[in-house]
Structure 1
Amino acid sequence: MQKLKALTALRAVAAITVIFFHIMSPTGHTFGEFGVDIFFVTSGFVIALVLDNPALTAQRFLADRIARIVPLYWVLTFGVFVGALVAPELLNSTTANLGNLLKSLFFIPYRKESGQIFPMLFVGWTLNYEMLFYVVTAASLMLVRRYRLVLTSALILAIFCAAKASHSGSVLAAFYMNQRMFEFPLGFMAYQNWKSGVRIKLPLAGCVAAAAYAWMAYINWHDLSDAPLLYYGLPAFVLIGCTLSLEPAMGSGSLTRAAIFIGNASYAIYLSHPYCVEAARKLLPDAIDGFDATAPPGVALTMIVATAMGAALYQFVDWPLHRHARRLLHAVPAIRLRRSRTAGARDTGTHAQEEPAGDLPVNEDAN
């Protein structure tokens, strides 16, 4: 499988950007929400790359995606549930509700006690979209392998239109009429451009990538993001295209290796950073006189600790859980459907990531 250092490094930037956003969000002056949009477009790109493996079955695709997403998310969600039981004063609106726990674990959108549509681990709202994307993609893979990207995009459009047209006011309708769902097909387009050999010259690619990031930061800072697909999704698409064109400039020095490692750990960093941010906000002021998480020293400390904690979590928890979950799910007998006999005979590419080192294949760390 293709190893893309630049795209992995971009995931590191996206994860750190989201940390900054959540640290500064109480001030009302922040940017970084668009890190999620970068992740969504990247996810579409990576899944399109994965689906180009002719031996990949829908069952194996879902098994790999579940193994990648579920284990760490469940661990950290249970952590929030336990926290709500033993120290509810540390949580903003989450209570130890068993029904909400089950909805969170199985990616069912619901309204929290605050009225917002978030799971117990609030950053997991993005995973609700990711899991829908994976299920729709698996269905497309089973139905029309040749036009899998087109059908997946069409099904996403159908879900969005059905949610818009329902006028039901239900949680599901409100959740699935989010424009950000179209960022997965934007990732498909980015992949098709890249596969076709579309590249931008290095100096221009670097300038445009920086401009796309600055544009999203400006829009976010001034709270002009009433149309996320336009303000964030399309610039994220441009940013990823430019980033892919920067691949020849990626070296092998220590800075590159560090960026790649953080990028590989970006999923763990993304899921775990709320623990660090809330600790910095609610616990450190009592332990360190005058500590302010939103002041420059507090921001720097919180970002460094959150990144380091996520990286350690990836190395010692996320990666082992992912590896064992894949082995367990791959041991499940294949469901034999039409065309699956030949499709399952050659499983090349799905075992590409065997060591938690830098420069990992993008098909295994799509978040």
Structure 2
Amino acid sequence: MGPLTETGLDARIALTRGTLRVDVTLAAARGEVVGILGPNGGGKTSAVLALAGALPLEQGHVVVSGATWERAGRARRLPEQRSVGLMLADPLLFPHLRAVDNVAYGPRSRGMAARTARARARLELERVGLGDLAHARPGELSSGQAARVALARALAVDPELLLLDEPLSALDPETRARTRTDLARRLHDYAGVTVLVTHDPLDALTLADRLVFVEAGAVTQVGTPGQVLREPRTPYVATVVGLNLYAAQADSHELLALDGGCPLVVGTSPLGPVWAAISPHAVVLHRGPPEGSARNAWPMRVTEVTLRGQSARVSLTGPLELIAEVTLASVAALGIQVGSDLWASVKATEVGTYPR
């Protein structure tokens, strides 16, 4: 279901946890999926716990579908009074209950008759493709199936707000891909607001309608996946979307001075403070100084090599920090390993720039 006009979530979450001051604003229409991303300890889980009512606000508010769940210093609904569905990395299924009874537990705990709750549970299991496993116990389910049971349980109470905190992080890559597809299909038909917390860029980019990046307790960028991919605004965001990003000053349209002093030749740039973005695929590695047409070339040292299928991400340090993505054949041909001294080059036309 696409975004609807009715406001689903309007929240400002301001609180302190330990030494971290969290001040995060979230807004979404009904039917939208909001992805929250950020480094560990940045405030993502604190925001989710506050939405669920597990952490009280020091300032701010939580309004869901027009109803005030909390306003700091005034009204506050307890967690059990909030219409919330929660799914975590650990499905936390009751091992002694069959799948249908795990899913029916939520409706039963809210006063629904046993027969009605089990009928609703069967419907939710059908919606996540597990109708034929309704009578299986958790020990008889795969990890992906258990995750889908947990999703069905979260949705069986008809929540206004669905909170997914790293829901796929415990799955192996193949199971994760299949479960991600199932999750996307189910969320498409969910009419409430979904808040998804994840470290995985693919989860965020494929499941969320809008991304909110939270770093050191504050929102650093908000946008659709397409907007974020085109113009990341912090080095962390650039890392998530797989780009090298540098703060720079453009005093001419073709030459930048990166913060730190390194010059960078570009095809064209707006003047003033800008971001410069370079795709790792645009970085070419050489044994010695390159002889081609690239106008940017630097002596570098390899600090890390990470294999990704048939390619490798090579972290480099030198006049600037840089990540290159090359084929395994290039790794072998250049003898790339940690400590190797290489040259890196980037064509001016491969550098994207936009105002800071």
TM-score (norm. length: structure 2): 0.25
Larger radius of gyration: 2
Comparing both structures, which one devotes a greater share of its residues to helix? 1
Higher relative contact order (CA 8 A, sep 6+): 1
Comparing both structures, which one devotes a greater share of its residues to strand? 2
